[in-house]
């Protein structure tokens, strides 16, 4: 399973990659720190899973997911795992609506 991680915190990014790298069949094929970088990578390479932080230093994870649902998206829609440190009900509602 090819994974893209979209996370702007280097501490969290490194921890997630370190923990999940031992999972058989899971490879991190892309890492992005910003919305624009993530979207650019998504249009260049197919991913099976997106691990996406909601709040990024530039942009947000919901816009990254939205990009994969556009009519011109060149690949199959990946699965999503949405990450956040904020337990706001509106984030849960948005995540359920996008997934």
Domain ranges for the chain: 2-98
Query: pTM higher than 0.95, yes or no?
Result: no
Are 32 and 60 spatial neighbours (Cβ–Cβ below 8 Å)? no
2-98: CATH topology is: Rossmann fold (3.40.50)
pLDDT tens, N- to C-terminus, the chain (99 residues): 999 999 999 999 999 999 999 999 999 999 999 999 999 999 999 999 999 998 899 999 999 999 999 999 999 999 999 887 666 667 666 666 655
Give which of 42, 88, 89, 97 is closest to 64, Cα–Cα.
42
CB neighbour class for 36 (10 Å; exposed up to 12, middle 13-18, buried from 19): middle
Q: What pLDDT, on the 0 to 100 scale, is given for residue 83?
A: 83
């Amino acid at each position: 399973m090819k994974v893209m991680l979209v996370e702007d915190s280097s501490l969290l990014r490194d921890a997630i990659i370190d923990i999940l790298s031992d999972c058989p069949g899971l490879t991190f094929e892309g890492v992005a720190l910003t919305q624009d970088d993530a979207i650019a990578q998504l249009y260049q390479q197919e991913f099976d899973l997106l691990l996406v932080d909601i709040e990024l230093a530039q942009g947000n994870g919901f816009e990254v997911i939205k990009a994969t649902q556009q009519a011109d998206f060149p690949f199959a829609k990946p699965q999503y795992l949405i990450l956040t440190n904020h337990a706001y009900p509106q984030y849960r509602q948005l995540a359920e609506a996008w997934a």
